[in-house]
Amino acid sequence: MRVTRSEKLDLRLTREAKLALQAAAAAARRSVSEFVLESALSRADEALADRRTFGVTTTQWKAFIAALDAPPRPLPRLERLLKEPGFFDVRPNE
């Protein structure tokens, strides 16, 4: 299935950088656009890999689920903060 590319990305670069990309694209027998897109997407996958999935052991998974299922612990300072009027709640001359 062929996907239509409808988005465009402009890029400013030095002459040396352009020549390097052209040489690398030629060595890979790709157009510069194909080479840059494939390279950028590969790098994006690497940069986002730890944000998409992560592995845990069975013990870690059980501890994670137990933490999610546990009732919240009391946080008196947070409760007090939420009950106090905020800066914008106080009217002048009061």
pLDDT of residue 88: 83
Give the dihedral sign, CA 8/9/15/21.
Answer: negative
pLDDT of residue 85: 86
What Rg, from alpha-carbon coordinates, does the chain have?
27
Q: How many structural domains compose the chain?
A: 1
For residue range 32-85, list pLDDT tens digits in order. 999 999 999 999 999 998 787 778 999 999 999 999 999 999 999 999 999 988
Cα torsion 44, 50, 54, 59 to 10°: value is 170
61 is in which domain, residue-wise? 15-85
Q: How confident is the model at residue 87 (pLDDT cuts 50, 70, 90)?
A: confident
- 92, pLDDT greater than 70: no
24 in a structural domain: yes
Q: What is the DSSP letter of 84?
A: S
| Distance of alpha carbon 45 from alpha carbon 36, whole angstroms | 14
pLDDT of residue 61: 95
pLDDT of residue 93: 66
pLDDT of residue 72: 92
Q: How confident is the model at residue 94 (pLDDT cuts 50, 70, 90)?
A: low
Which residues lie below 8 Å from residue 64, measured CB to CB, with a gap of 6+? Answer: 56
| Distance of alpha carbon 57 from alpha carbon 53, whole angstroms | 14
61 in a structural domain: yes
